[in-house]
């Protein structure tokens, strides 16, 4: 059976008009898992990676808000917590969607650590805002007492910023491999919990945000998956995005993709990392395929009927 790594975007867990509650997330997860179960019925072996931006943000905010009552959780711990409850929702929903199709495939989520490099240039220039807003005085205090990097956020106040380093190695990759044959594994949630490896071999969580599309790519590469499928809000990536001459893309070769990236067609932080992840994946092996499409169109895209396919040539 073809192996596929699926990266689920923010809309797989939260819809634009639903509340940002755990209950609403479970409802959206149920719809998402109906789609994923259809893919499984289509004869694919799969692992699932999901985003966690809004969720980890809320966990951090709750923890910061309650700081006078309970000690705040470090950001890596917030990431682990988000993997836990998102994984739980997907596990529960997907188990049901599979069973209702007569598929009794175990679904298991794995708290996953991702090694990043201490020397990653991203650490020199943290850019990702996380958590709540502070006054300038509070920001200075946090800089001095906790060593946080704080930045003024577009006139709205001061916020903590963290780096977005590249994922280098999935600590639990052997366990993913063992589970793959028997189960659908939910892994590398939110890009994985960023950890650095000390000289003595110990791992240490760091406050950082890893791009989940890059993490999914690394997983797909390491699992020797046939397809990397990035599911997001749009059916296809486009050039001249948002302009009158916008043009949806059915297919990009590596060379075409590189040219479009160069020309700045894909927005940093949203479509650009997806295209870059797809490029990296197909570069590893000319027989591999990467697809960017929407959750709703995943099945059609695998049949080659829609989506943006990125391939070597
Ligand atoms: P996710 O949560 O799925 O990771 P993002 O919101 O980070 O998704 O990125 C997907 C979004 O990127 C699309 O919904 C679209 O609004 C935006 N986008 C930016 N540039 C492009 C482009 N060139 N083609 C298509 N979508 C684009
Ligand atoms: Mg999004």
51 CA to centre of ligand 2 in angstroms: 9
Average confidence (pLDDT) over 183-196 = 98
In terms of domains, do 100 and 200 share one? yes
- Output the CA 268–ligand 1 centroid distance in Å: 9
Which DSSP letter does residue 208 get? Answer: B
Does 43 qualify as catalytic in the annotation?
no
Same-domain status, 155 and 45? no
CA 312, 249, 310 angle in degrees (round to 5)? 20
Atom 25, ligand 1: residue with shortest CA distance: 237
Range of the domain at 146: 126-162
Q: How confident is the model at residue 16 (pLDDT cuts 50, 70, 90)?
A: confident
Q: Are residues 111 and 205 in the same domain?
A: yes
Confidence grade of residue 28 (pLDDT, cut at 50, 70, 90): very high
pTM as predicted: 0.96
pLDDT digits (tens, 9 = 90+) for 36-77: 999 999 889 999 999 999 999 999 999 999 999 999 999 999
Strands 247-248 and 251-253: unpaired
Shared domain for 140 and 202, answered yes or no, is no
Q: Is 274 a catalytic residue?
A: yes
Residue 308 has pLDDT above 90, yes or no: yes
Give residue-wise pLDDT tens across range 153-176.
888 899 999 999 999 999 999 999
Q: Tell which one of 57, 232, 238, 260 to mutate to probe ligand 1, the residue whose CB is within 8 A of the most ligand atoms.
A: 232
The answer to whether the Cα torsion of 72, 78, 80, 86 is positive or negative is: positive
- Which CATH number does the domain housing residue 36 bear? 3.40.1160.10
Average pLDDT, the chain: 96
Where do runs of H (alpha helix) occur along the chain? 22-41, 53-65, 75-99, 136-146, 173-180, 212-222, 254-262, 271-283, 298-302
pLDDT tens across 116-148, in order? 999 999 999 999 988 888 999 999 999 999 899
- Rounded-to-integer distance, Cα 65 and Cα 63, Å: 5
Residue 227: helix, strand or coil by DSSP?
strand
Q: Which two tokens stand for residue 300?
A: 């059609």
The reported pLDDT for the residue numbered 153 is: 85
Residue 121 lies in a domain: no
The active-site residue out of 30, 42, 57, 128 is 128
Q: Sign of dihedral through CA atoms 286, 226, 248, 42?
A: positive
| DSSP one-letter string for 112-176 | -EEE--TT-GGGGS--EEEEEEE-HHHHHHHHHHH--EEEE-TTS-EEEEEB-PPP-EETTHHHH
Number of domains in the chain: 2
Domain check: are 59 and 183 in the same one? yes
144 and 212: one domain?
A: no
Atom of ligand 1 nearest to the CA of 9: 3
Compute the distance from residue 63 Cα to the ligand 2 centre, in Å: 23
Angstrom distance (rounded) from CA 255 to CA 240: 18
What per-residue confidence (pLDDT) applies to 155? 84
Rg of the chain over Cα atoms, rounded to whole angstroms, equals 20
Percent of the chain with pLDDT over 90: 94
Least Cα distance to 146 among 134, 154, 128, 156 occurs for 134
Residues 151 and 252 in one domain: no
Indicate whether 132 and 98 sit together in one domain: no
């Amino acid at each position: 059976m073809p192996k596929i790594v699926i990266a689920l975007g923010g809309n797989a867990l939260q819809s634009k008009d639903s509340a940002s509650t755990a209950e609403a997330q479970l409802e959206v997860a149920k719809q998402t898992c109906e789609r994923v179960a259809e893919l499984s019925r289509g004869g694919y072996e799969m692992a699932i990676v999901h985003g966690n931006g809004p969720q980890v943000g809320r966990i951090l905010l709750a923890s910061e808000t309650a700081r006078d009552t309970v000690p705040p959780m470090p950001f890596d711990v917030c990431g682990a917590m988000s993997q836990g409850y998102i994984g739980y929702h997907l596990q529960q929903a997907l188990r049901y969607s599979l069973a209702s199709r007569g598929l009794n495939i175990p679904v298991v989520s794995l708290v996953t650590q991702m090694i990043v490099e201490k020397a990653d240039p991203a650490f020199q220039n943290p850019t990702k805002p996380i958590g709540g807003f502070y006054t300038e005085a509070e920001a200075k205090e946090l800089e001095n007492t906790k060593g946080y990097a704080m930045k003024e956020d577009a006139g709205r106040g001061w916020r903590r910023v963290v780096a977005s380093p590249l994922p280098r190695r999935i600590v639990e990759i052997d366990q993913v491999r063992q589970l793959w044959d028997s189960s659908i594994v939910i892994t590398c949630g939110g890009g994985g919990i960023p950890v650095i490896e000390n000289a003595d071999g110990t791992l240490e969580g760091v406050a950082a945000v890893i791009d989940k599309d890059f993490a999914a790519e690394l997983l797909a590469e390491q699992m020797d998956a046939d397809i990397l499928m990035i599911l997001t809000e749009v059916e296809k990536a486009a050039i001249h995005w948002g302009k009158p001459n916008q043009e949806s893309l059915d297919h990009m070769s590596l060379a075409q993709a590189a040219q479009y990236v160069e020309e700045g067609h894909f927005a940093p932080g949203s479509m650009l990392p997806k295209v870059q992840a797809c490029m990296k994946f197909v570069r590893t092996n000319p027989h591999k395929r990467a697809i960017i499409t929407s959750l709703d169109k995943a099945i059609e895209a695998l049949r080659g009927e829609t989506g943006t396919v990125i391939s070597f040539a």
